[in-house]
Amino acid sequence: MGNHLSQMIGQFLGRRQNAWGGPQSQSSSAKPSILQQQFLQPVGTVNNADNMQLNYIFCGSGSVEQLMPERLNLTVMMLNRGEQWRALNERLGSCTQSGGDGRLLVVVRGTPKDKPDLFAYRCGIIDLKKFDTDTGWQFMGPLEWPSGSSDLNALIATIRPNLGINGSCSLLSFNDRVKDLGKSICFSHSIDEPEISKAGEALVYRWLEYFATEWPRPPAGRLVVAFLCIRATAEAGSPEPDLHTRIAEKYTSNNCPIFVLPPLGLIKRHEVLTWTSVVRENLGEECAAGVMLDAEDIFDRINEWRFDDLSKRLRPIIGGTIHPHSQLNAHRE
């Protein structure tokens, strides 16, 4: 399964170039990832397995595994997150204006079924492209959070190999290297809030503070966009302030490069109604024709869906493997 998945993503994204335009070199100290993916060189600490799990669906009795086409996977990714994308789009616009900072660390929260890491992945490979059409983007993929560590250097170590910086170096040396990026870059880290320790939370705040005050501004016209994806089990708005809320209360200035998005939540009827136009804009007319679904059928009895639940029902329909009514009737609740 891993080889097929690696080939599919590699074919879509192609062999990646580093931020200075040259091919990546393999770090001798890099740990192998779960998937040896062609588009991430060196592999380093990249861990994409969780984010790629939706590339497989089960058909019929559930005993047959089918790999879905690349553009079908991208189509499902484009399920509208209008509130979050509009806010991010506006903030990125200000980053690219004359005198803009050029740095943005985006904090996005959701339950595992909301797929906050998939939202970051979609932005990295599709949505952010329009903000630097000059030299293009280097999407470094989801990077592994150094679980259990409170050391900022452990976090920086997940970024260095993907920028072609081999071996250890001080933060000062790292800052000197990233001053002269030839391309805009994007990467993400994900944390599971219920499992994060006090040391881990301390690292979260150290990372935010470092990015806000010490990460160098990129050259004019370049952007550095990082995502911190918080997977939480509790619903947003619970009585006890969560990590996302505490971060939002700490970083309130519009001039600060830390940007906290509204929490991801349910996919609602109107977001599916606008889905076709979102797909058409980003993936083209041919792909949009494949998502001309009857939203009244999809939301016949349930008016709000979790992203994961809805995507599982939509994939076979878009792929033409199951008739919409058969799929929906089989999963009515």
- Residue 240 has what pLDDT? 62
- Residue 67 has what pLDDT? 57
37 in a domain, yes or no? Answer: no
Least confident of 161-165, 200-204, 245-249, 314-318: 314-318
Least confident of 96-100, 113-117, 138-142, 269-273: 96-100
* Residue 51, number of CB atoms within 10 A of its CB: 18
Tokens describing residue 26: 């393999």
Kindly tell me the sign of the dihedral angle through the C-alpha atoms of 87, 116, 139, 169: positive
116 in a domain, yes or no? Answer: yes
Inform me whether the pLDDT recorded for 26 exceeds 60. no
Mean pLDDT of the chain: 75
Domain containing 100: what range? Answer: 82-260
The span from the CA of 179 to the CA of 282, in Å, is 31
CATH number of the domain enclosing 86 = 3.40.50
* C-alpha of 277 from chain center: 21
Inform me whether the pLDDT recorded for 182 exceeds 80. yes
**What SS3 class is residue 301?**
coil
Alpha helices per DSSP H over the chain: 2-13, 70-77, 82-96, 116-125, 152-159, 171-178, 198-213, 243-250, 269-273, 275-283, 285-288, 295-298, 307-318, 324-330
Peptide bond into 241 cis (omega under 30): no
242 in a domain, yes or no? Answer: yes
- Residue 94 has what pLDDT? 82
Q: Quick one: which of 49, 23, 20, 41 has its CA closest to 162?
A: 41
292 in a domain, yes or no? Answer: no
Quote the radius of gyration of the chain (alpha carbons, Å). 20
110 in a domain, yes or no? Answer: yes
195 in a domain, yes or no? Answer: yes
184 in a domain, yes or no? Answer: yes
User: How many domains does the chain contain in total?
Assistant: 1
| Mode of pairing for the β-strands spanning 267-268 and 304-305 | antiparallel
Least confident of 58-62, 149-153, 198-202: 58-62
* Predicted confidence (pLDDT) per residue in 290-331, tens digit: 777 777 778 887 889 999 999 888 887 787 665 444 444 444
Report the share of the chain in percent with pLDDT over 70.
72
Is the pTM above the cut of 0.85? no
- Residue 13 has what pLDDT? 35
- Residue 230 has what pLDDT? 95
70 in a domain, yes or no? Answer: no
